[in-house]
Amino acid sequence: NAGVMQNPRHLVRRRGQEARLRCSPMKGHSHVYWYRQLPEEGLKFMVYLQKENIIDESGMPKERFSAEFPKEGPSILRIQQVVRGDSAAYFCASSPLGTAYNYEQYFGPGTRLTVT
Amino acid sequence: GQQLNQSPQSMFIQEGEDVSMNCTSSSIFNTWLWYKQDPGEGPVLLIALYKAGELTSNGRLTAQFGITRKDSFLNISASIPSDVGIYFCAGLPQEYGNKLVFGAGTILRVKS
């Protein structure tokens, strides 16, 4: 059973460009979470999605950031007009639907975004 | 927001020693999870705890859900070089149900 997949693993963007980060959850998981991690820091929650629904986006900046999890295909975290402060590692996690243990989140390898 | 205080921030230990780290909060948590993150990788789930007082082992790792539901600890016995990494606790607050809160991590370095 393949784990959570994220691509690209590394992404370099110039200031003002757009960054698109993709996440494919584990098979059978329909809950997806995005986190951001700065060097030497913990993980900060950004957004929680189920298929075609944003459940909680309280951790995501209101401007320039958006996320989706369509019926078909991966979840996408999109950052428009990137700035240097957006440089970080972005992790996606997934959890299974409808079990007592659906709070166990399984993480992907992350996308390291560098804005030059 | 909810805060988790994780300690120690970092530690150097001798190979073969036991290690202990913990997470505390002023709030009540319903679930505690412990993760390990290697450099350049995503966190890997080590142990999940769901009931106050629960003690769970995974190989040389043992974790407990504090009886007050405001803390958890992780022990690693007989540490080896591959235990190096960052260990994160994460908790699900009682107050709201779907958002894990993460501690800042404990950096473990082993002297071989």
Any CB–CB contact under 8 A between B92 and chain A?
A: yes
Which tokens go with B21? Answer: 């780290």
Q: What does the alpha-carbon distance between residue B66 and residue B63 come to, in Å, rounded to a whole number?
A: 10
pLDDT at B25 over 80: yes
Contact with chain A for residue B104, Cβ under 8 A: yes
In this complex, which of B45, B99, B103 lies closest to A104 when CB atoms are compared? B45
- Shortest Cα–Cα distance, A101 to chain B (Å): 9
CB contact under 8 A, A42 and B103: yes
Nearest CA among A54, A29, A56, A62 for reference residue B92: A56
Whether the predicted pLDDT of B97 surpasses 80: no
Nearest CA in chain A to B30: A103
Q: What is the mean pLDDT of residues B63-88?
A: 95
Give the angle subtended at the CA of A38 by the CAs of A88 and A66, to the nearest 5°: 50
Higher pLDDT, B56 or A2: B56
pLDDT given for residue B3 in this prediction:
80
Q: In tens digits, what is the pLDDT along chain A, a chain of 116 residues? A: 579 999 999 999 999 999 999 999 999 888 999 999 998 788 999 999 998 999 889 999 999 999 999 999 999 999 999 999 999 999 999 988 644 456 788 999 999 999 99
Residues of A in contact with B50 (CB under 8 A): 100-101
Give pLDDT, residue A96: 81
Say what the pLDDT of residue B43 is: 94
Opening angle at CA B33, ends B98 and A96, nearest 5? 50
Distance CA B112, CA B96 (A): 43
Read off the tokens for A59.
């951790």
Say if residue B90's pLDDT is above 90: yes
List, in sequence order, the alpha helices (H) in chain A: none
In sequence order, what E strands does B1-112 have?
5-7, 10-14, 19-24, 29-37, 44-49, 55-58, 61-65, 71-76, 85-93, 101-102, 106-111
Residue B63's pLDDT band (cuts 50, 70, 90): very high
- Residue B70 binned pLDDT confidence (cut-offs 50, 70, 90): very high
Per-residue pLDDT band for B2 (boundaries 50, 70, 90) equals: low
Buried b or exposed e, range B81-103, using 16+ CB within 10 angstroms? eebebbbbbbbbbeeeeebbbbb
- The per-residue pLDDT for B9 is 94
